[in-house]
């Protein structure tokens, strides 16, 4: 009987999956999906996603053998993804390579701590021609509508400003070449490091949106390697330190009229929806198969109750208290 009930619930969730989602008391949220390829964008939209909250562009670089993808190849992929999104948001994250991700055609330096090393925006800001190529491709695809650009692993305003200046230069070039693009393309940063959390006010003043990457944020706040089985039990996004980091970030974003979402795997678990709604997130970006269930859960939530849960989680002294509070063992 329980299996039948679960199947009925899942069928009902699927039926409403592509409808916009509001809480019981009418607060509007967006449930988008994470995608690692153009095919995945298609699956995500079919699952009812309100758009793509994280398009991991590195797949384009990792699946090649013979060098960085050129502007043509990238423009085609991003434009196709934008077309599949049909005007819904498509958040393209610029290359997040390094750490545990390497490229067959590029020699990364040997590093003792790759996750604290040369990765993501640090690589892009150094390999500037490669970065320009990607920014130009994203801008060209933005002519289709819905495209947003997001920078990974930001730790300082200096990095953000450097990336923004390059984006402006690319816009200027395209203008001169009379290539169409969305001049008001929204720009965002991923909040994945403690530094970004503490600088959230300054960062929020200069961008349109934030997306918290809890996969990395958890690893960096707790100093627990996200891929190390030996300490996997310590890797806990419900640790009050991580919950407080989310609260600081959401509040800073909203003080500056900056939208804030979450795109770590944590958001895809229905049990976490109440906490996330209560913390004030505007959007959740989850793995495509989780879209219907997360939307269904949000439809059953009341904002005041969710806010109370979030307040208690922020005030909790231990991770077990937070687990108990939201009913996750």
Contacting residue, 214, 237, 249, 290, with ligand PEP by CB under 6 A:
214
40 scored as a contact of ligand PEP (CB under 6 A): no
For ligand PEP (CB under 6 A), the number of binding residues is 10
Q: Considering only CA atoms, which of 128, 142, 167 is closest in space to residue 55?
A: 142
**Contacts (CB under 6 A) with ligand PEP, residues 260-319:** 263-264
Contacting residue, 50, 192, 283, 296, with ligand PEP by CB under 6 A:
192
Q: Contact residues for Mg ion (CB under 5 A)?
A: 192, 213, 216
Interaxial angle between packed helices 128-141 and 71-85, expressed in degrees from 0 to 180 and rounded to the nearest 10: 40
d(CA 54, CA 103): 20
Least separation, in Å, of the C-beta of 58 and ligand PEP? 8
37 scored as a contact of ligand PEP (CB under 6 A): no
Q: Select the residue whose beta carbon is closest to Mg ion and give its number.
A: 216
264 binds, among ligand PEP, Mg ion, none (CB under 5 to 8 A by kind): ligand PEP
Q: Could you give the residue ranges of the DSSP H alpha helices within 47-156?
A: 58-62, 71-85, 121-126, 128-141
Q: Which is nearer to Mg ion, 99 or 292 (CB)?
A: 99
Least separation, in Å, of the C-beta of 61 and Mg ion? 16
Backbone CA torsion sign across 215, 217, 220, 221: negative
**Nearest 5°: phi and psi at 169?**
-60, -40
Contacts of residue 295, defined as CB under 8 A and 6 or more positions apart, other chains included, come to: 13, 16, 17, 19, 21, 31, 48
Q: Which is nearer to ligand PEP, 13 or 203 (CB)?
A: 203
**Over the range 137-175, which residues count as b (16 or more CB within 10 Å of their CB) and which as e?**
bbbbbbbbebbbbbbbbbbeeebbebbeebbeebbeebe
**Contacts (CB under 6 A) with ligand PEP, residues 44-73:** 54, 56
For 256, other C-beta atoms within 10 Å of its C-beta total: 16
18 binds, among ligand PEP, Mg ion, none (CB under 5 to 8 A by kind): none
247 scored as a contact of ligand PEP (CB under 6 A): no
Query: Would you tell me which residues interact with ligand PEP (CB under 6 A)?
Result: 54, 56, 96, 192, 213-216, 263-264
């Amino acid at each position: 009987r329980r299996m039948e009930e679960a199947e009925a619930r899942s069928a009902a969730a699927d039926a409403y999956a592509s409808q916009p989602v509001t809480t019981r008391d009418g607060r509007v949220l967006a449930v988008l999906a994470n995608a690692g390829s153009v095919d995945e964008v298609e699956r995500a939209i079919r699952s009812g996603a309100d758009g793509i909250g994280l398009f991991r562009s590195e797949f384009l670089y990792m699946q090649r053998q013979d060098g960085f993808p050129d502007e043509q190849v990238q423009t085609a992929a991003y434009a196709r993804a934008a077309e599949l999104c049909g005007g819904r948001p498509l958040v393209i994250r610029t290359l997040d390579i390094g750490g545990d991700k390497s490229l067959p055609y590029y020699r990364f330096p040997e590093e003792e701590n790759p996750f604290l090393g040369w990765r993501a925006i640090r690589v892009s800001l150094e390999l500037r021609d490669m970065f320009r190529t990607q920014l130009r491709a994203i801008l060209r695809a933005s002519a289709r509508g819905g495209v947003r650009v997001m920078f990974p692993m930001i730790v300082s305003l200096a990095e953000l400003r450097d990336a923004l200046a390059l984006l402006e230069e690319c816009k200027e070039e395209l203008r001169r070449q009379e290539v169409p693009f969305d001049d008001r393309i929204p720009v965002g940063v991923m909040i994945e490091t403690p530094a970004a959390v503490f600088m959230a006010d300054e960062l929020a003043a200069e961008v349109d949106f934030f997306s918290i990457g809890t996969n990395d944020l958890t690893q960096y706040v707790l100093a627990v390697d996200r891929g190390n089985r030996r300490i996997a039990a310590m890797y806990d996004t419900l640790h009050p330190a991580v919950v407080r980091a989310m609260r600081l970030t959401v509040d800073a974003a909203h003080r500056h009229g900056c939208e804030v979402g979450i795109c770590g795997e944590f958001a895809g678990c229905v049990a976490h929806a109440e906490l996330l709604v209560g913390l004030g997130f505007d959007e959740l970006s989850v793995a495509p198969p989780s879209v219907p269930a997360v939307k269904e859960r949000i439809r059953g939530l009341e904002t005041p109750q969710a806010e109370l849960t979030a307040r208690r989680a922020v005030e909790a002294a231990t991770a077990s208290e937070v687990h108990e509070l939201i009913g996750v063992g």
